[in-house]
Amino acid sequence: TRVNPSVVYVRVISEIPGFESPFNFPFDDMPRFQQGLGSGFVWDKEGHIVTNNHVVEGAEDIEVTFSDGTIVPATLIGADPDSDLAVIKVDIDADMLVPVTLADSTKVKVGELAIAIGNPFGLQNTMTVGIISALGRTLPAGTASNGGTYSIPNIIQTDAPINPGNSGGVLVDDTGKVIGVTTAIESTSNSNAGIGFVIPSEIVSK
């Protein structure tokens, strides 16, 4: 009840990479754009919302839906591919914004209750429950210009069910404080297999 108003559904429209029309004239009905979806959460009363970079990367348009059904456009404020985090902003009455409260992710222990809230497969405001499965994992984040790779350290692993669409949502503790951002899964089927990865609040706050 407390956290749900803070979690939003993020819908993005982006151009299909490498799209080329098979025709030689501009007015064709070939789809040049694709739709993506994810989650995010309210950071402050100024309208800043945190999500994953991979949710909004390359977006032409971003739309945010709140738990009460309110839909507003959003603009990208900043993105960090190296930590797979991004900040978007909405222009909406401050009374409608319910910022999250962060937990201290450095004090999280294996076995503690973990609750994911997000929009898996576009099913808004879905809550799933598990535990903290492991700490100190690393997650690949991208490739540097010199050919090296970036990794996000101190990733939290959870068995709380996470699926496509949960990206950018929250993992909270039993008091509703945000442990981190649900970001990725390990799965052979691209759906929940009991291994989810979460960017800790310590990195988010930075």
List the catalytic residues.
Answer: 54, 84, 167
Q: Report phi then psi at 20, rounded to 5.
A: -135, 130
d(C-alpha 72, C-alpha 41), whole Å: 14
d(C-alpha 193, C-alpha 133), whole Å: 13
Beta bridge partners of 128: 116
Enumerate the H helices of the chain as residue ranges: 53-56, 201-205
Long-range contacts of 139-144 (CB under 8 A, 24+ apart): 139/84, 139/183, 139/184, 139/197, 139/199, 141/81, 141/82, 141/83, 141/84, 142/81, 142/82
Burial (CB < 10 A; 0-12, 13-18, 19+), residue 96, is middle
